């Protein structure tokens, strides 16, 4: 049975800067931020694989990778992700691919002797009408939001998989639930991105086209919490080093904003002078999604990047890379 890491002491000891860390999904928004954060903090033995080099949906390939590389730590940032449209259009891919990737990673990591496993879930795991802010205890207490239930069910299964391997085998797997993320390296596709990057692109293109208005899905009334991905990466490294328990832990800022307020902020930052039009025929999704981050704060970590500053930085990145981002 692999030894269980404790935050300060244990059979493996404190987190070692020479630990071999595999970041699954290192090219994505979260994975690339994790590589930056780990490198900055002095972790020099990082292992990465592109999707072409290692297909995480293929069990044999994943098993071979772990037998060959033998990482000490795994951070699972690999997932099929997208906004309301993508979740609704591709439900089979969202549940199938996420279930297979996380199952192969957890099982192979345990069997190869990995000492710490960090699973990244999502705030969409919580019931659609759960009380706000969302406490970790609200998991599985009510129906999910239908527009992203396929992704949410897969992520809930990942949480339970980590808890089961901890209970039965003593495997030190922790599960972190980030809120809505944004930042450098985001997906700005108008078809399958999340709301914040999609709005940046919409307003930018409308500005340069001289459009008179921009249409936003829904009523504009839902409220969302947004965490800069660099803040998330800092939190993940902090919890990797300091947290070891079965209980899931929320990662967010503890503040939210309406979609209308978000759109108005982005319109101002981009410099679009036309009108905002909301399309109530399109789905709003969950009315409000704000995480209770009191547990994270009690451990000594808080987000540091204000939303407006983060959006400004993200827009500058978009301008510099607009010919490269995924469509």
DSSP line for 64-120: HHHHHH--SEEEE-------HHHHHH-HHHHHHHHHHHHHHHHHHHHHTT-SEEEEE
- Is 29 annotated as a binding-site member? yes
**Cα(170)–Cα(2) distance, integer angstroms:** 7
Per-residue CA distances from 306 to 30, 203, 251, 282, 303 (Å): 18, 21, 15, 29, 8
148 is in an annotated binding site: no
Q: Is 27 annotated as a binding residue?
A: yes
Reply yes or no on whether 315 is catalytic: no
Is 316 annotated in a binding site? The answer is no
Which of 22, 110, 151, 165 is catalytic? The answer is: 151
Q: Is 120 annotated as a binding residue?
A: yes
Residue pair 180/226 in contact by the 8 Å Cβ criterion = yes
* 67 labelled ligand-binding: no
CA distance 191 to 40: 34
Cis peptide before 307 (omega within 30 of 0): no
26 marked ligand binding residue: yes
Residue 139 is labelled as binding a ligand = no
Contacts of 234 (CB under 8 A, 6+ apart): 37, 301, 304
87 has binding-site annotation: no
The answer to whether 202 is annotated as binding is yes
Annotated binding site for substrate: 202, 217, 224, 284
Cite the active site residues: 151
Annotated binding site for NADP(+): 25-31, 120-123, 155, 178-181, 194
Annotated binding site: 25-31, 120-123, 155, 178-181, 194, 202, 217, 224, 284
């Amino acid at each position: 049975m692999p030894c269980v890491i404790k935050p300060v002491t244990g059979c493996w000891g404190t987190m070692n800067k020479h630990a071999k860390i595999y970041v699954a999904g290192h090219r994505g928004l979260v994975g690339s931020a994790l590589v930056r954060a780990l490198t900055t903090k002095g972790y020099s033995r990082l292992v990465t694989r592109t999707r072409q080099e290692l297909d995480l949906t293929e069990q044999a390939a994943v098993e071979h990778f772990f037998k060959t590389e033998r990482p000490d730590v795994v951070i699972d940032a690999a997932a099929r992700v997208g906004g309301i449209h993508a979740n609704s259009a591709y439900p089979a891919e969202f549940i199938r691919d996420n279930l297979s990737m996380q199952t192969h990673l957890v099982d192979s990591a345990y069997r190869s002797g990995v000492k710490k496993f960090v699973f990244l879930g999502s705030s969409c795991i919580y019931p659609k009408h759960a009380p706000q802010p969302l406490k970790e205890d609200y998991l599985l207490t009510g129906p999910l939001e239908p527009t992203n239930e396929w992704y949410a069910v897969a992520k809930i299964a990942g949480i339970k998989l980590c808890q089961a391997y901890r209970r039965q085998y003593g495997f030190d797997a922790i599960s972190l639930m980030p809120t809505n993320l944004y930042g450098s390296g985001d997906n700005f596709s108008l078809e399958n991105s999340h709301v914040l990057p999609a709005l940046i692109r919409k307003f930018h293109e409308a500005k340069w086209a001289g459009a008179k208005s921009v249409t936003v899905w829904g009523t504009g009334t839902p409220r969302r919490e947004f965490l800069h991905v660099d803040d998330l990466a800092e939190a993940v490294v902090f919890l990797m080093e300091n947290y070891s328990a079965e209980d899931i832990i929320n990662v967010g800022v503890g503040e939210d904003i309406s979609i209308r307020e978000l759109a108005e902020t982005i319109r101002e930052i981009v410099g679009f002078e036309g009108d905002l039009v909301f399309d109530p025929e399109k789905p709003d999704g969950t009315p409000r999604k704000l995480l209770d981050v009191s547990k994270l704060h009690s451990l000594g970590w808080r987000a540091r990047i204000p939303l407006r500053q983060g959006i400004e930085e993200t827009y500058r990145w978009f301008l510099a890379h607009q010919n490269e981002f995924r469509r």
